[in-house]
Chains A and B, each alone.
Chain A
């Protein structure tokens, strides 16, 4: 099992450019999440998905869009990148069980710089 994978690992964009970050998981998890991590601010939720074809806004959704056309993939898009979106982006997945909420498994991260 590869777990949660992310592509690309690094990217440099110019202001106004667009890009898509890809997250894939092979654990058959229902839930998937996109976070951004900035120094001193922990992990902040951008968007999340509770199943194929469904998405919802998290804590900091502005400037981002997402899609989940397949259960195993969750895409994060930046339509017009801004320097404030310079960050490390993590994808995570999780599942439900009788016990309730469970561990989130994280991908390796994407370091994005917007000039």
Chain B
């Protein structure tokens, strides 16, 4: 099955700086890569996703890039703000018959200090 590794496990950044989180996946048939943000005590919520036919996607201060050849994808947050502090999870879909299942990375704790 699909295996997703996520790095780093913790990330501290100064407010206004950029944050980058990287994930690698093992199943070359994976075609959907979402990123979720989970604030303390809350549910995970989708912040951005990308499909395998696209190399990059942006939404205001966040962007995701995908390198299918190397089987890795990254989340970029620019101009970080204190409200960006949370745990971020990447995920990959696995093969096309996966019935919507996602394999999640272990998560990255992002702390934005003023």
* Residues of chain A having any CB pair with chain B under 8 Å: 31, 33, 40-45, 48, 50, 56, 58, 90, 94-96, 99-104, 106-109
Contact = CB atoms under 8 A, between A and B. Distances in A.
Binding site secondary structure of chain B: loop
Given A100-B31, A103-B34, A106-B45, A42 B105 contact: yes
B100 A102 contact: yes
B98 A101 contact: yes
B96 A108 contact: no
Contacts of A103: 34, 46, 49
Contacts of A50: 99-100
B101 interface: yes
A40 B106 contact: yes
| Chain B interface size range | 20 to 34
Interface of B: 6, 9, 31-32, 34, 42-46, 49, 51, 89, 93, 96, 98-102, 104-107
- Residue of A31, A40, A43 with most chain B CB atoms under a 10 A cut-off: A43
Contact of A94 (B45, B51, B89, B100): B100
Contact of A107 (B43, B89, B104): B43
